Amino acid sequence: MEIFKNFIDGEWVDSLGKDVFENINPADTREPLGAFPRSRAEDVEAAVSAATKAYTRWRLVPPPKRGEILWRAAELLRARKEELAREMTREMGKVLEEARGDVQEAMDMAFYMAGEGRRLFGQTTTSELPNKFCMSVRAPLGTCGLITPWNFPMAIPAWKMMPALICGNTMVLKPAEDAPLSAWHLVKILEEAGVPRGVVNLVHGFGEEAGAPLVRAEGVKAVSFTGSVPVGREVAQACAGSFKRLCLEMGGKNVIVVMDDARLDLAVEGAVWGAFGTTGQRCTASSRIVVHKAVYREFSERLVERAQRLKLGNGLDPTVQVGPLINEAQLRTVARYVEMGRAEGAQLLCGGHRVSDGEKAHGWFFAPTVFGDCQPSMRIAQEEIFGPVVTLIPCDDFDQAMEIANHVVYGLSSAIYTRDVNKAFRALRDMETGICYVNAPTIGAETHLPFGGTKQSGNGHREASTAALDFYSEWKSIYIDYSDRLQRAQIDT
């Protein structure tokens, strides 16, 4: 089996304890993809210290030069897109077409942030005093600790690394233990693109063992975490004591509202993609569908008919539409929620069971599942399941739809299908989520718009777009007095 390494101070190294863990294909658990270092606090310390040392030089590299490195990385991603996508499908199961999209997103972010090297705009403004010049510029923060989940194993690390790099920060990345290979490829590409020694460091391992020490490390000035709410809460508590800057991107219970005037064929197609794309393992997955009672029966029948026809299997097969769940624990979680839904009195319209015929016996496959006649307060309609399970909730009218849509602790993404422009704009105004769609499902963010959620989906920061620069840089306000005398603001008026 291939042995992969950590990347610390420009060298590929084993963990100091020499322990490893295996990366397994969830579509076929007989296939290991390699062994990765099971790192601990001492490895994290070495990486943080390398990043902190490298920061003294990297912060002085002109941003357009940093941008050139990112640009080269983007070109390498483009050249290797197919190979990287295939490896991603093997390591975490998403179908090949979606894996290509994941690599594309990393590439888009690299190109976008490369361009920021020639912008990183601040402000120039007036002064209340004569012969005085005022401006604000962006300053880097230092070493960043980046912790990522497995469901977008290349895109999410890139979302964090590219803006952090262009702003002049150095970093330690701790990718998810269920999908370390894609992050490994990304770091390898950044090395090849010319990132100087120590600027990017990669430490593999588990959350408690490698993630937690990274969050706590004194040299780390900012932490960016994407993952679940319980872990996000722990990370926030660990950062609070030292007031570390912290970006949290967490879960969702995203809603599609289907009004009685919607184009039903479009809404069904959007619901299938939103609910079962990436096997429902997206933070923006459409896991609740609130449907106007006038079209409820027709919508649910058509959705069930489509869900039952979806082809499950190994994502490398181009005819497969739905891949496996990430691991056995996730399979058990999904099965547990199905039982809970039944016990709560929701109507199981299709799916609800593991699929293990033929080759699928070796993977973590679960049938696309639709629950009908759900009450908004049911746990299956409130909690993030992170699997191919969707809950249908009937509603009487637009106002009730909005009430149900907002009645969750999450606030990541929402959507409405309607042909009434007034309803569309009212929904855009009233839905309490960071991302809203009209006549499209809740998934499909683009890299040049802010990404993130309200309520327990995040902590107010945004990733992607120029909003990411606000997290990875600090504003510095600068006053230059060329009057040759003492001028006192607010006093010498």
Active-site residue set: 249, 283
DSSP code string of 409-430: SEESEEEEE-S-HHHHHHHHHH
Nearer of residues 95 and 283 to ligand NAD, judged by Cβ: 283
Task: Answer whether 89's CB lies under 8 Å from 316's CB.
Answer: yes
Nearer of residues 98 and 177 to ligand NAD, judged by Cβ: 177
Q: CB of 389: closest distance to ligand NAD in angstroms?
A: 14
Q: CB of 412: closest distance to ligand NAD in angstroms?
A: 6
Binding to ligand NAD by CB under 6 A, coded x per residue (else -) over 237-276, reads ------------xxxx------------------------
Query: How far apart, in whole angstroms, are the C-alpha atoms of residue 99 and residue 152?
Result: 9
Which 138-197 residues touch ligand NAD, going by CB under 6 A?
147-152, 174, 176-177
Binding footprint of ligand NAD, residue count (CB under 6 A): 30
21 binds ligand NAD (CB under 6 A): no
Query: How far apart, in whole angstroms, are the C-alpha atoms of residue 75 and residue 107?
Result: 8
Task: Answer whether 27's CB lies under 8 Å from 324's CB.
Answer: yes
364 binds ligand NAD (CB under 6 A): no
Which 272-291 residues touch ligand NAD, going by CB under 6 A?
283
Query: How far apart, in whole angstroms, are the C-alpha atoms of residue 338 and residue 382?
Result: 13
Q: Hey, which residues does 286 pair with through a beta bridge?
A: 254
Nearer of residues 187 and 258 to ligand NAD, judged by Cβ: 187
Nearer of residues 210 and 291 to ligand NAD, judged by Cβ: 210
DSSP code string of 222-288: EEEEES-HHHHHHHHHHHHTTT-EEEEE----EEEEE-TTS-HHHHHHHHHHHHHGGGG-STT-EEE
User: 23, 49, 201, 226: which one contacts ligand NAD (CB under 6 A)?
Assistant: 226
Task: Answer whether 38's CB lies under 8 Å from 22's CB.
Answer: no
Q: Which residue is nearest to ligand NAD (CB)?
A: 207
234 binds ligand NAD (CB under 6 A): yes
Q: CB of 335: closest distance to ligand NAD in angstroms?
A: 17
C-alpha 354, offset from chain centre:
27
207 binds ligand NAD (CB under 6 A): yes
Q: What are phi and psi of 271, to 5 degrees?
A: -65, -40
Q: CB of 211: closest distance to ligand NAD in angstroms?
A: 2
Kindly list the residues in this chain that would bind ligand NAD in the complex (CB under 6 A): 147-152, 174, 176-177, 206-208, 211-212, 215, 226-228, 231, 234-235, 249-252, 283, 384, 386, 412, 457
